[in-house]
Amino acid sequence: MDKLSILGVFIAFSAVGFGHTFAGGNLSDLVNLHAFIIVIGGTVGAVMLQTPASQFTQAIKSIPKVWQSSELTLSDQFKQILDWSHIVRKDGYLVLEKHQQADAFSLCGLEMLVDGAEPRQLKQSLEDIIDLEQNRLEKQAGVFEAMGGYCPTVGILGAVLGLIQAMDFLTSPEQLGQGIAVAFVATIYGVGFANFVFLPIANKLRAVANERAIYHEMTLAGLVSIAEGASSIEIQRRLSAFTQELT
C-alpha cells in the first residue's frame, strides 16, 4: 500500500473537519445526503456522457493504483537486464525462454530476442507498446481530471438548487434552514471532492504512468543493447541514465 497517498487523503479531510470544529462548528454540519447526491451524481453523469464506456470502466478499475505501491523497481530491473546480458553472452538467446518471472513487457521483449528479432525491429515494436500503454493510461487519468473540472460547477448548481428550495420555504424556518444547508454544503462538496479526490487521483495516475514509462524505456534500452551485442559495461552505462541510484 502507498502510505503517503492514504495519509494525504486523511490529512486533507481532517484539516477541513478540524478547522470547522475548531471554529465552533459540528462535523454533522458537513454531512448532507442531498448535496452529496447532487454533486457526485451530476459529476459522474456528466463524465459518463463524454466518455466511451470502455474508457470509463478502465478508469474506475485503475483507482486501486492510487493506493498501491509500485511493483516495478528500477534497481531490480537494472540488475535483471545485466543478468540477461551475461546469460546471452554465455549460453545464447534460447536460455532466456526460462525467465518467466519477468513482467509482461519484459517477456514480450525476451520472446522477440529468442525469435531472433533485429535490434531495429525490437526497438520499434517495444516503442509501439509503450506508446499505446501511455495513451491508455493518459485517457484513464483524463476521466478523473474531467470529474475535477465538472465537480465545482455542479457544486454551484447544487447551491442554486438549495437556495431555490430555501426561497420556497421562507415562512417555514426549519425547512428554510435545510435549503440553505444544501446550498453551502453542495459548494463545499464540489470544491472539496475536485481538489481532494478527483484531481489528485488524475495526477497520481499520471505519476504512475510516468514511472511505468521510465521502467519500460530502461528495459527497452537494455534489450536493444543485448540484441546489438553490447558489452555488459556498455549496457550498464546506458541503463545508469535511467536511475539516480546507480549513476
Mean pLDDT over residues 171-199, rounded? 84
* pLDDT value, residue 168: 73
Between 246 and 200, the more confident residue is 200
Average pLDDT over the chain reads 87
Residue 34: CB partners within 8 Å, gap ≥ 6? 162, 182
* pLDDT value, residue 177: 66
| 39 has pLDDT over 90 | yes
Task: Tell me the pLDDT tens digit for each residue of 42-83.
Answer: 999 999 999 999 999 999 999 998 888 777 788 888 998 999
* pLDDT value, residue 44: 96
Task: Tell me the pLDDT tens digit for each residue of 111-129.
Answer: 898 888 899 999 999 999 9
Which single residue is written with the C-alpha cell 438549495?
A: 162
Q: Domain map of the chain by residue range?
A: 1-29, 32-242
In DSSP notation, the chain reads --HHHHHHHHHHHHHHHHHHHHTT--GGGG--HHHHHHHHHHHHHHHHHHS-HHHHHHHHHTTHHHHSPPS--HHHHHHHHHHHHHHHHHH-GGGGGG-TTS-HHHHHHHHHHHTT--HHHHHHHHHHHHHHHHHHHHHHHHHHHHHHHHHHHHHHHHHHHHHHHHHHTTT-HHHHHHHHHHHHHHHHHHHHHIIIIIHHHHHHHHHHHHHHHHHHHHHHHHHHHHHTT--HHHHHHHHGGG-STT-
Residue 246 binned pLDDT confidence (cut-offs 50, 70, 90) = very low
pTM of the model: 0.85
Residue 161 binned pLDDT confidence (cut-offs 50, 70, 90) = confident
* pLDDT value, residue 101: 61
* pLDDT value, residue 174: 67
